[in-house]
Every structure is written in C-alpha cells, then in structure tokens.
Structure 1
Amino acid sequence: MEIKYETTKKKKLTIPHTYTIIFMLIVLMAALTWVVPSGQFDTTEINGRNVVVAGTYKLVESNPQGISNIFIAPILGFVESADIIGFVLLIGGSFAIVNKTGAIQAGIGAVIRKLNGRDMLIIPISMLLFGLAGSVLGMAEELIPFYMIFVPMMCSLGYDAITGMAIIFLGSEVGFMASTTNPFTVGIAQALADVAPGSGLEYRSLIFIVLITISSLFVMKYARKVKSHPETSIIYDEFRDINQDFSSGFTSVGNLDTKKNIVLLIFGIGISIIIWGILSQEWGIANIAMVFTAIGVLGGIAGGIKQEDICDTFVAGMIDVVSAAFVIGLARGIVIIAQDGRIIDTLLNSAAMMLQGLPKPIFINLTMLFEVVMGFLIPSGSGLAALTIPILAPLSDLVDVSTQLVITAYHLGKGVISLVMPTSGVLLAALTIAKVPYSKWIKFVTPLVIVIAVCIMVFLTIGLYIGY
C-alpha cells in the first residue's frame, strides 16, 4: 500500500499595510495611557521654545484615551501637520508641471550620457552632498522634491526605486544623525545645556565621515548587485513594475533645446534662492513651498504649456502624492494620543530615575537607546532636545560624563530611529513617492541600522575616555 504524505506550504510572513501599522500604533499608544500614570514637568520659555524644568515632575489627573480619541487622532494629526502636508502637495503639483516640459528628463539624460558608464559615482557623491545638507543645515523635509528626480533617474540607469530613495533618505538622515553644526539638534541642545556653541565639532565630524562612508558603501553594494542581477532587487518579485513606471519617462528622452534650457535655468535659480533663504533668512517650509510653486508656474509657461494644462497637471501632481500627505497626518495621530494621555513626561522621568548611578559606559549607551525610544514619540529633533536635554544634562554630572557626550548620544539616538520609524513624515513621504512598501524598506535597511547602532555605541564609549 502506498502511503501518501501531505505537505503543507509554509505561510509567508507578510507585514501589514502602512496605514494598518500606523493605526495599530495609535491603538497601542491609547492602551498605554490606561497603564502608564499621567505626569507632567513644569516648563519654561527659552528663546521662544517651551523647555521642561528638571526636578519638577509630578503626577497629574489621568487622561486615558478611548475609542473616540483613537478615531479623532488622525484628523487632529492632519491639523497639526498642515504645513508639511501642504508642502508635499504643492511640491507634487509643481514638479508635475516641470516634468511635463521634459526639461528634467532631458537634463538627466544629458548627465547620464556624459557619465558614460561611471554612473555608480552618483551614489557616493550625492550621498555626501545630502549628508552635508542634513549634518550642517538640518535639511530633511526640504529635500522631498529631490526624490522625484533621483528615483526615476536611478531606475533609468538600471538600478531600482529603493536605490534612488536611499541615496537621498540615507544620505540626509545619516547626516542629520551625525550632526556637526545642525542648528535644530546640536545647536538647540548645546544652548539648553549651556555648552559652548560649536564645541566638539571635531569628534562629531569624525562620526559623520565614518557613518556616511558606511552608508554609501552599503547602498553601492546593493545597487551594484541589483544592476548585475535585477532579480535580487528587494522589490523585484511583487513590484518590478515600479521600475518600469519610473524609467518609462526616460526611454525616449529628447535633447535639450532652448525652452528646456530656460526651464532648467528657472529650476536652478529657484534652488539657489531656496539655499539662500535657508542659510541667511531662516526660511521654513512655507517659503520653500512658495519658491517651488513659482518654479512650477514659471517653468510651465517657459516650457510652452497652456494655462489649462498647467492647472490640470498641477492637480494631477498633487493626486500622485496625496497618499504621502495622508500618512504624514495619520502618523502624527500617534504622538497626539501620547501627548493627550500625558504619558510622555512619565516615561521621561522614569528613564531619568533608571539612569542615575549607572556605570559610565552603561549610562551613555542607555541614554542613546532612551533617545531612540523617545524619538519615536517625538519626531521633531528640536522638540526632542527641548524635552530630554534639560533632564539628561544634570544627570551627566552625577555619573561624571560630559554633557557634550550626552548631547551626542541624543542626536545619534534620534537619528537611528529616524531611519525606520513609521511616525516619520519624511520617511513616509519618501516611500510613497518611490512607491516602496514600508515592509520592503525595513528589509533593506535593517542590516545597515544594526551596523550603525554598533558603531554609535563604539563612538560613545570611546568618547568617555578621550575627554570629549
């Protein structure tokens, strides 16, 4: 008698949709408000910013978040994120107009032809430039428009959408992580801790060089493998059509002509104005959006597009990025639940109590990991500094660790979680523009995150013994 054995197929682990993940996190945060006691620090205003006062923590009346709070959190998130949501929509519409002129495609095509097989150089050079933008100027949201250029460009060169996205996102976020003079992290933290502005630059510069080099090599290794064997792309099986969508606009790229050159000139002047505004006028995203909108309108006119087509293209461009705008507001709902439930200060106080009296190497590395956790709840780098530095800086004196090193642990920890956190508006916008699922990004970036985390711990530990 023949015996038949039944074989069971292994079920493939699937990660839920991004919207599902965010909603689950909202529910989880609401559940925590029923378990974690509500507490609050007193605050004071320093240079127009509300800053917590160490030693003032007290329990307050609990405010657990219920079902109605869970479902109202997203709309409140849209309200609080209105500026960045509007920015993303305006950028999407403006870039759609510029793209319709064919100037960007023709310009990239000209660059590709000049590279003549040396396109791999785009990765380290661009990541260094974006890294400096993040490290020196604290640029993140301001770089969102560049995803619309780099993703299709890298796809047209035979790479994939993840490669194009990683060049900008990893470059800027690793730069933001290893901040050298970033005014929104190091600048604010040093001011709050009464540390000399700009001090410690040499060691932070070394950290920046090492981390941006590791990240560039990581992306180059992946890109080289994808170009040689496209089937190894993380998005190949289910999403290989993504590359075809992005690269299709480059299959019949025309040559540059007078109209296209004028459009590129307008684009270049606009970018120069934005850089000037950020460096000398302290521009925010509202002013940057203003310039990009002008670039779109003027570029469309110079490119010979009729006014009806300009309007229709602008609307179509906004529709293309509306999903990115939506997830930004939705993710903000997680933070709103934690704030309204008054549990953030309780978590901060508990961590501060736990860190007291620990050996120096344990203290500094747990401080970094604590900033990783708090960075999940507080996506803003400056907001996280205002919340944690006034509490952690005095603790450093108790364990004989320099405040400078605590500041470094703060921005390194904030940077690590920024690479993967689903509450990051920049990450979600980048993923949506590149059409890369969150689960695929996690699979791609996890090995790099582990390596960077180990390097950070080494740097922090060494910093204890070199008098940093």
Structure 2
Amino acid sequence: MTSTAAPSRAPDTLLVLLAVALVLAAIVPFVPAGFFAPGQPMSLASFQPGESALGLRLFSSDADHPGVLNLFFDGFTSGSRNGAAIGVIAFVLTVGGAFGLVQASGAIDNGLKRLIARFGHRPRLLLAVLFVAFSTGGAVFGMGEETIAFLALLLPLIRRLGYPPETGVMVTYMASQIGFGTSWMNPFSVAVAQGIAGLPLLSGAPFRMAMWAGFTAVGLAFALRYATAHRRAPEATDAGDATAAAGTASAPLGWVDHAVLWATLATVAWIVWGVTVAGYYIAEIATQFFALGLFAGVVAVIGGRISANGAVQAFTDGVRALVPVVLVIAVAKGMLGILGGSDPHAPSVLNTALYAMGSAIEGTPELVAAWGMLAAQSVFNFFVSSGSAQATITMPLMAGLGELVGVSKQVSVLCFQLGDGFTNLVIPTSAAMMGAIGVAGLGWLAWVRIIFRFILLLMALSALTVALAVGIGYV
C-alpha cells in the first residue's frame, strides 16, 4: 500500500542550532568553568580548573555571559569590525549584495552561454571548460546554490550531446563543491574560519591554490571518464529542449558583459594583492567586493540591463539571500557566549572541554590528531551543512584544541574546509545538493551509488593533503 504521509524533511540548520543551544544551557550549570593562565603558552600545563560552574541564565545583562534569551542579540553584537560576529556578518551581507548586482547584470549567465556556443561541438572540451569554470566559482565566490539555475540551463544541451543528466550535476554542482572545499579565498568558509582562528585573512594561499588545482584535476578526470563511459549516441531533442538548447547559443557578449567579467577578474587580482601585499582584512576585502558590485550595477544600468531601482533591488535580494547565514552565525556566537565565550584566559565551559579533549589525546602524534579533526569536521557537516555556520561553531574549539596538541591553526582551518566541502556532495541535509540532483531528475540513493567511490577517493586525498600540510609545517 502506498503511503500518503508527507515526505520527511530534515530540520533547518537554525532549528538544530537552537536545540543545541538549549542542550548546552542545560549542561553548563554542571560543568566547572576553567581557563588557561594568562601570560603563558596555551597548553595542558597552563590550564586552571574552575572552582564553580557558570550557572543557568535565562536573561543576563552581561554580554560576556549572555542568557538563553539574549542568544540572538548578544550573538549579533559580539566581536568587532574585524572579527566574528559583527564583522563577519557585515562582510557576508556586503558580499551577498555585491554578488546580487553582478548576477543581475547578466554577465555571468551570458558568459556561460558563450562558452556553450563556442565549445558545444567539442563536447569533452566543453565539459572540461565548464568544470574548471564552476570549480573556480566555488573557490572564489563560494558558489553553491547558484549552480542549480545554471544546471537547469545546461541540461538540454547535456542531453542533446548524449550525456546522462548526472554529468550536468558533476560539471556544475560537484565542480563548485570541489572548488569550495579547496579554496584559497572563499569568503564564506576559508575567510570566516581564518578570522575566527585568528589567522591573517586568506593567508596560506599558495598551498591552497596548489591543492585546488590538484583536486580540480582529479574531479575533472572522474567527470570526463564517467561522461565518456555513459554517453549514448546524441539523440534528437523534443521541441522544448531544442528551444532551450538553441537559446544558449546567444549573440556575442555585449560591452556590459565584457566590462563586468573583466572587472570581476580585476577584483580577484586586487584582493590577492591587497591580502598579500597591503595587509587587507575583513573590512577592506568587503569594500573591494562592494566596489565590484557597485561597478556592475552602474554598468548594468547604463547598458539598459536593469533600472536604477532594479539595481537597488538586486543588491537587497543578494543581502536577503544571506540573511539565513547571518542568523546562523549570530546563534552560533550566542552559543559560545552561553558556554562562557572563547577567550582562553576567561573561565568558560569551552576551555574545560578543550582541556578534556586535549588530555584524552595527549601524546597522540600531530598527524593522527589532525586526521581526527578532519573526520570530526566531516561528520559535523551532516548536522550543519552551512560552511559559515560550521566555521563559526567549530573553529573556536578546533583551533584551540589544535594548539593544545601541536596542530597549527592553518592545518585546523584546512581540516575544516576539506571536511566541510566534500561531504556536501552526499549529505541529504544539503539543500543545494538535493536541489541540484532534483533538477537532474535523480534520487538521492541513485546519486550516492554514482558518486560514493569518488567521495572515498576525495576523503583519501584529503587525508594525504593534511599529512603533507603537517609534514611541511604549514602555518
């Protein structure tokens, strides 16, 4: 008998975090709040056990130890313009608005259409160009959910060329997540994690650039091999597909497209220069992205792509799209406040947890500890698939724990991004992944059967990458 029950739906990330916050609030009164002695290196020997617990508070005027009902407000207002949460929130919203303007200009869409028109008669080359383009988008812009629209655009052509629809998922969403997980400048994962860990923003970029190139090459090889092995003779498409495919062969790029695309490349170069030479940090990088969005908006208005009001709406829509991320960041920081904060020299439950975990793995080789952190991040991503949220929740713990056992903060961030990025390809709690395979007409189990061997390969390569980072003293 067919069940008429509504399909189950994974709980929203915000619900999960609120539930965790309530659990933590219930635990805190029973855990002594310890701290690491100031003026000494952070180590197990410098830990001072707390004489009392923090106690349960429903409401508090103490911003350093908020009550449960202060969760949102104190989470939003914690930190400074250069760190979580207020600085990171401002950064995320500014970048979201800027990308909303870039997207509204139509330059990204038209650029992809031109790629299709130019390379459609050479299908393997087309797939390779698309894969690298989307991997770059994941690395530079944190592209994820945006790939769903591009996938819908590309599927008619993918089918027309004789490739199965999962090939389209591979060269769009899968490619973007490989770029996301190995990025050197992703503003929504690496930048957030490094800011929380107290590292210079976008530091360690050369190693990550090489990592991105290697993982992208492996992913491309897998996608091309799968596409070739499962290709059928190109078939005639129905009228709808023919119309959609023909639509991709658009007119040459206009001056607006050229201006915005070149400005995007120039902004990337500007950011790299600013971070590596001028010492730019969150505020400056946010300004650089805003400058790109402002330029794209002005050019799009002058070129007749959108009205002035439309440009404002595009910016607002871009900001609005990232409000859920902002809420998650605020709740995550509020949770840290319930635990007593992340200051290693102030009494907190987090410090006690760090000491307990550090004591449990004391004497463990640095590499084994780093692998454990990689595994923990991969598992945690099932519950919190948002990169920004996972960074905000886990990095205060992982960065501090890494210091206790000899793992550098840079390696801790590396474990975070590798664990966060690749499991997004299979976890059913990832809305972007479920949306992408849904557009392609694939069920989750069918997708897992197709991809699971490749995921195992990515995990093995991740472990090797972490081992290399530890071996070379990556800092």
The one-letter amino acid of 2:405's match is L
The one-letter amino acid of 2:359's match is M
Contact persistence 1:325–1:429 (CA under 8 A):
no
Cα drift, residue 34 of structure 1: 1.4
Indicate yes or no: 2:181 matched with 1:174: yes
Indicate yes or no: 2:16 matched with 1:24: yes
The one-letter amino acid of 1:256's match is A
Q: Distance in 1 between matches of 2:19 and 2:393?
A: 23
Other-structure match for 1:352: 358
Contact persistence 2:147–2:172 (CA under 8 A):
yes
Contact persistence 2:378–2:423 (CA under 8 A):
no
* Change over 3 Å in CA distance of 1:144–1:131 after alignment to 2: closer
Other-structure match for 1:271: 264
Other-structure match for 2:92: 84
* Change over 3 Å in CA distance of 1:62–1:164 after alignment to 2: farther
Contact persistence 2:260–2:299 (CA under 8 A):
no
Other-structure match for 1:73: 72
Q: Distance in 2 between matches of 1:65 and 1:121?
A: 60
Q: Distance in 2 between matches of 1:354 and 1:31?
A: 23
Question: Once the two structures are superposed, what CA deviation does each residue of 1:312-349 show, in whole Å capped at 9, x if it has no partner?
Answer: 43355457656632321232244134212115444333
Indicate yes or no: 2:25 matched with 1:33: yes
Cα drift, residue 222 of structure 1: 7.0
Q: Distance in 2 between matches of 1:83 and 1:463?
A: 28
Contact persistence 1:62–1:341 (CA under 8 A):
no
State the percentage of identical aligned residues: 12
Which is worse superposed, 272-281 or 445-454? Answer: 445-454
* Change over 3 Å in CA distance of 1:350–1:324 after alignment to 2: farther
* Change over 3 Å in CA distance of 1:93–1:189 after alignment to 2: closer
- For the residue of structure 2 that corresponds to 1:33, the secondary structure is helix
Indicate yes or no: 2:313 matched with 1:284: no
Other-structure match for 1:256: 251
Q: Distance in 2 between matches of 1:206 and 1:107?
A: 26
Question: 1:303-452 maps to which residues of 2 (within 5 A)?
Answer: 304-305=304-305, 310-314=307-311, 317=314, 321=318, 324-342=321-339, 343-358=349-364, 362-370=368-376, 372=378, 379=389, 388-389=398-399, 391-396=401-406, 408=411, 410-420=413-423, 444=447, 447=452, 448-452=454-458
The one-letter amino acid of 1:301's match is I
Contact persistence 2:362–2:405 (CA under 8 A):
yes
Determine which of 113, 116, 127 is the counterpart of 1:112: 116
Question: Once the two structures are superposed, what CA deviation does each residue of 1:110-146 show, in whole Å capped at 9, x if it has no partner?
Answer: 3322213334435544555665788xxx7454x5797
Q: TM-score of the superposition, structure 1-length normalised?
A: 0.63
Structure 1: runs of 5 or more not aligned: 1-7, 46-50, 230-243, 397-402
Other-structure match for 1:453: 459
The one-letter amino acid of 1:35's match is I
- For the residue of structure 1 that corresponds to 2:15, the secondary structure is helix
* Change over 3 Å in CA distance of 1:429–1:127 after alignment to 2: same
Cα drift, residue 89 of structure 1: 3.3
- For the residue of structure 1 that corresponds to 2:27, the secondary structure is coil
Q: Distance in 2 between matches of 1:347 and 1:340?
A: 14
The one-letter amino acid of 1:115's match is F
Structure 2: runs of 5 or more not aligned: 60-65, 78-84, 159-164, 234-239, 276-283, 340-348
Which is worse superposed, 356-365 or 216-225? Answer: 216-225
Q: Distance in 2 between matches of 1:187 and 1:345?
A: 20
Question: Once the two structures are superposed, what CA deviation does each residue of 1:8-61 show, in whole Å capped at 9, x if it has no partner?
Answer: 44688945266x34313321232133125364645989xxxxx97763465452
Q: Distance in 2 between matches of 1:261 and 1:148?
A: 25
Contact persistence 1:361–1:464 (CA under 8 A):
yes
Question: Once the two structures are superposed, what CA deviation does each residue of 1:234-255 show, in whole Å capped at 9, x if it has no partner?
Answer: xxxxxxxxxx99x987754675
- For the residue of structure 1 that corresponds to 2:363, the secondary structure is coil
* Change over 3 Å in CA distance of 1:319–1:173 after alignment to 2: same
Contact persistence 1:140–1:172 (CA under 8 A):
no
Question: Once the two structures are superposed, what CA deviation does each residue of 1:236-291 show, in whole Å capped at 9, x if it has no partner?
Answer: xxxxxxxx99x98775467536xx52112211331133123201123513321221
Contact persistence 1:132–1:172 (CA under 8 A):
yes
* Change over 3 Å in CA distance of 1:313–1:175 after alignment to 2: same
Contact persistence 2:71–2:331 (CA under 8 A):
no
* Change over 3 Å in CA distance of 1:378–1:316 after alignment to 2: closer
- For the residue of structure 2 that corresponds to 1:277, the secondary structure is helix
* Change over 3 Å in CA distance of 1:389–1:25 after alignment to 2: closer
Other-structure match for 2:299: 298
Contact persistence 2:93–2:323 (CA under 8 A):
yes
* Change over 3 Å in CA distance of 1:113–1:383 after alignment to 2: same
Cα drift, residue 457 of structure 1: 3.7
The one-letter amino acid of 2:301's match is G
Q: Distance in 2 between matches of 1:144 and 1:324?
A: 12
